[in-house]
Amino acid sequence: MTKKILAFIISLLLILAMTVSTFAAERSSGRFVYDDANLLSSYEESNVSNRLEELSRKHNTEIVIVTVDYLGGSSINSFINNFYDVNDLGYGDTRDGVLLVVCMSMREFRILSNGKAADKISLDDIDSISDSITPYLSDGDYEAAFLEFADLCGDQLGFNVLKHLLISAVIGLVIGLIVALILKAQLKSVRRRYTAHEYIRPGSVNVRPMGDFFLYSNVSRTRRQSSSSSGGGGGSRSSGGSRNVGGGRF
């Protein structure tokens, strides 16, 4: 009897799981490449699209690439933000996704990471991805640039085992060393006495101030970090919900 109930519950959970994943796929239009600037041949486009789809599914993060010729007056920053919001990109409640916009007339590109993807791909990560794909874009090797972009996003979105392992090992060693040294110090009890405080005759202490003289003063200053960085190739954060935007020229 209990076995039947267990089998029923398990199958119910499986159905639920499948609906969730299909649900996620249906939410987006299913397109990963919007090549309005026609930088890619149909073969290259399907190649890039497949890679993006594979990585999007694997990391549950919608990775989309948009290329345009003209932006019609708006700045590329506002374009990328609008595109992401208007098209409701990103999976889940936190709208996790990464968007790459390439504008040929301005020869500029922007990368946007949103939601949980913004935690995993920081401004520094966007800068380093930008540095990696800029040579490909400059050379006109767009398929290579986009595939490289996709792979780099995948690396950042995945659990970076090596980095975390290294940090955990360092923390472990530091704490281990502290504890071991404390235990070692337990063994030592022979110490010199540097003072004779216990031997001061009570009531014999009489200290007179003989003057506090001011000598000179010294003022130093450090520049404050400004919280906003200039636009153009810089990055910005939007208020409410994490989002990172960065990029550059090619």
Partner 1 sequence: MAIQQYKCPCCDGGIEFDTASQKMKCPYCGSEFDVDTLKAYDEALKDQPDDNMSWDSSAGGEWTNGETEGLRVYTCNTCGGEIVGDETTGATECPFCGNPVVMSGQFAGSLRPDLVIPFKLDKKAAMEALKNHYKGKVLLPKVFKDENRIKEIKGIYVPFWLFGTDAKGFVRYRATKIRHWSDSNYNYTETRYYSVLRAGDIGFENVPVDGSTKMDDTLMESIEPYDISAAVDFRTAYLSGFFADKYDVTSEDSIDRANQRIKQSTEQVFASTVIGYSSVVPVSTNISLNNGTAKYALYPVWILNTKWEDKMYTFAMNGQTGKFVGDLPMDKSLFKKYLFGIAGAVGIVALIISYLMWLL
Q: Site for partner 1 (CB under 8 A): which residue of 16, 192, 228, 240?
A: 192
Q: Does 196 bind partner 1 (CB under 8 A)?
A: yes
The candidate with the shortest Cα–Cα distance to 66, out of 101, 37, 97, 113, is 101
Structure tokens at 227: 């919280």
> Which residues neighbour 63 within 8 Å (Cβ) at sequence distance 6 or greater?
32, 52, 55, 56, 97, 98, 99, 150, 153
Question: If binding is defined by CB under 8 A, does position 191 make contact with partner 1?
Answer: yes
63, 158 contact by CB (below 8 A): no
Alpha-carbon gap, residue 228 to 48, rounded angstroms = 35
Q: Does 172 bind partner 1 (CB under 8 A)?
A: yes
Among 5, 16, 162, 190, interactor with partner 1 by CB under 8 A: 190
How far apart are alpha carbons 55 and 65 in whole angstroms? 13
- Provide the minimum distance between the beta carbon of 174 and partner 1 in the complex, in angstroms, as a whole number: 8
Q: In which residue are the tokens 């499948």 written?
A: 18
Site string for partner 1, 55-84 (x = CB under 8 A): ------------------------------
Q: Does 207 bind partner 1 (CB under 8 A)?
A: yes
Chain residues 115-154 in contact with partner 1, contact rule CB under 8 A: 120
Question: For partner 1, which is the closer residue by CB, 55 or 68?
Answer: 55
Listed as own residue / partner, the contacts of 125-131 with beta carbons closer than 8 Å and 24 or more positions apart are 125/156, 126/235, 126/244, 126/245, 126/246, 126/247, 127/235, 127/246, 128/152, 129/153, 129/156, 130/246, 130/247, 130/248
Looking at the Cβ atoms of 65 and 153, the one nearer to partner 1 is 153
Q: Which is nearer to partner 1, 4 or 223 (CB)?
A: 223
Is the Cβ of residue 82 or residue 168 nearer to partner 1 in the bound state?
168
Stretch that binds partner 1, among 7-15, 66-74, 81-89, 192-200 (CB under 8 A): 192-200
Q: Please pick, from the candidates 1, 16, 162, 205, the single residue that binds partner 1 as defined by CB under 8 A.
A: 205
Binding stretches for partner 1 (CB under 8 A): 120, 159, 164-165, 167-169, 171-173, 175-177, 179-180, 183-184, 186-201, 204-224
